Amino acid sequence: MKSLNTLIRIELFKIFKKGRTYIGFGAIFLIIIAIQAGIHFEGQNLFDFIMQQLDQNFQFEGNVINGYLITYLVLNTLWIHVPILVALVTGDLIAGEANSGTFRLLMTRPISRTKLLIAKFLAGWTYTVLLILFMILIGMGGGLLFFGKGDLMVFKDSINFFSASELPWRFFAAFAYGTLSMTVVAALAFMLSSFAENSIGPIIGTVAIIIGITIISTIGFSLMKPVNPWLFTTYLPGWQSFFEFELDKAKILRSVLVQVAYLVLFLGVTFYHFRKKDILS
Amino acid sequence: MYKQILLFTALLFSGVSINAQDASKEILLALKEKMEKVEKYTVDALIRVEVDFINIKDREAKISFTAPDQFDFKSEGFALLPKKGMQMDYIKMMDGGFTSIMVKDEKVRDVTTKLIKVIPDDSTGDIVLAEMWVDASTSIMHRMRTYSKDSGTYTINFFFADHPYDLPDRVEVSFEVKNNKLPVSITGDFESLGKKAEEGSSEGKVIVEYSNYVVTGK
């Protein structure tokens, strides 16, 4: 156990020694600041446009533009971008060693391949969690600090209003779900990384798989309808389920189970392949 | 002889019509006078919104009224209030002058009321026609329907308990709402892609229950 902790620390050191690791944090920071500035200057216009639907019949009381709305918008904007940032680091975890020619040297150490993979994946997962925590800190923390608390209005099939008191647990659940989704993405990139000798392939491959499947299943909705429930990409925006007025627990459970199944599959393939792999670089 | 009968009939009916208009005006002015006695009050309100595409839990609000038509709402979170029905639109409408016609007697929740149609003199206002169901013996309005240029048709039912100023303890506002759908680029709801949005309109209702009236100006 002690050696595993040491290995994880070493892997984390390697991750945070690379400049690309900070691209994710920098990008999230810039995007969130841009969203917050946009809401500050143009939020009321956007709100007025959205409210045209209700404006004919209703008048509103309450602080609509608040930290929770900002956090929701941040999540809505970033759920397709964060996988790219996750893949940027986790796609490099194994292939990066091959690329830099350090694998054979690494394998001369008295550690099993399984242990090395576990350490590498947990280090990559730690990065993923830190990325999400950073998003919470800047998105939610900054949003609440500058825009204050308030109820949340969410537009889906219907318009859902949530009181401020129930929002902390909804956001906590949404972020926890998001962490699971990003772990699956990390596992996919990790798996592709185990097959590659260069980190560009797994990174681009992961992004291509996610965006490709998402586009195909969105545009060809009727064609892909029977397959969609079995694709992990279908569940990437599943965090939105926590902003349904009545929680669909069966749907959430199914989303979690499908994602866990993919997680096991991706990691299983990685471990199976890597344990038999010829290390040539 | 034929011409004389025709003239007599015409005079008779015009007289009835003028009388009906006078009587309806009298009822409405009595109603207005009664409502104007209350110049200022605050009240706790519990607001329930029943609209197909809106999900919101019942909200509490504090409402302050200052004559003639100043309403102020305070609520901890969001409160969705109907555009019509919360304010005393009928008083405002009557202030600008109106023409009224007594239509018939009609029962509203076991109370015999006079159904009066009111046409405001000011044709630039939002309300073009109103129907009021007024209990002439108590000067209490139990129902009102307004036809407006911008907000469609609103039906407002007033329910009363034993309040000294006959202020309602429950108001139900029914109206037509359009079912629109926002683009996915705004909602981010990709799950709804491919689902057919319901079009057209449906009836919406807002129920406001009042309690703890504090009348400070009378």
Distance CA B128, CA A90 (A): 67
How far is the CA of A35 from the CAs of A93, B29, B184, in angstroms?
31, 55, 18
Residue with the two structure tokens 């699956």: A184
> Interhelix angle for A113-135 vs A82-90, to 10°?
150
Note the pTM of the prediction, 2 decimals: 0.81
Average pLDDT score over residue span B110-123: 90
Q: What is the pLDDT of residue B11?
A: 45
CB-based contact A54 B54, cutoff 8 Å: yes
Whether the per-residue pLDDT at A275 is higher than 70: the answer is yes
Q: What is the pLDDT of residue B97?
A: 85
Consecutive H or E run containing B48: strand B40-50
Name the residue among B54, B150, B194 with its Cβ closest to that of A159.
Answer: B54
Distance CA A92, CA B134 (A): 78
Whether the per-residue pLDDT at A223 is higher than 90: the answer is no
Q: Write the pLDDT tens digit of every residue in A148-182.
A: 988 998 887 788 899 999 999 999 999 999 999 99
* Residues of chain B with C-beta less than 8 angstroms from the C-beta of A155: 182, 186-187, 189
Most confident listed range (A44-48, B130-134, B190-194): B130-134
Name the residue among A57, A62, A77 with its Cβ closest to that of B177.
Answer: A57
Whether the per-residue pLDDT at A197 is higher than 60: the answer is yes
CB A169 within 8 A of CB A152: no
Question: Two tokens at B112?
Answer: 């015999």
Predicted-complex ipTM score: 0.77
* Residues of chain B with C-beta less than 8 angstroms from the C-beta of A158: 52-55
Question: What radius of gyration, in Å, describes the C-alpha atoms of chain A?
Answer: 21
* Residues of chain B with C-beta less than 8 angstroms from the C-beta of A225: 194
**B186–A contact, CB cutoff 8 A:** yes
Average pLDDT score over residue span A65-93: 89
Q: Which residue has the higher pLDDT, A229 or A51?
A: A229
* Residues of chain A with C-beta less than 8 angstroms from the C-beta of B203: none
CB B94 within 8 A of CB B28: yes
**Interface mutation vs chain B, best among A61, A213, A248, most B CBs within 10 Å:** A61
Whether the per-residue pLDDT at B187 is higher than 60: the answer is no
**A143 three-state secondary structure:** helix
At residue B217 the predicted structure's pLDDT band, cuts being 50, 70 and 90, is low
Q: Where are the alpha helices (DSSP H) in chain B?
A: 2-36, 89-95, 184-187
CB B132 within 8 A of CB B6: no
pLDDT above 70 covers a percentage of chain B that reads 76
Q: What is the pLDDT of residue A186?
A: 97
Average pLDDT score over residue span A235-246: 91
**B195–A contact, CB cutoff 8 A:** yes
For residue B209, count other CB atoms closer than 10 A to its CB: 17
pLDDT above 70 covers a percentage of chain A that reads 96
What domains sit in chain B, N to C, each tagged with a CATH number?
2-217 (2.50.20)
> Interhelix angle for A67-78 vs A167-195, to 10°?
20
Average of per-residue pLDDT values in chain B: 79
Most confident listed range (A220-224, B103-107, B163-167, B184-188): B103-107
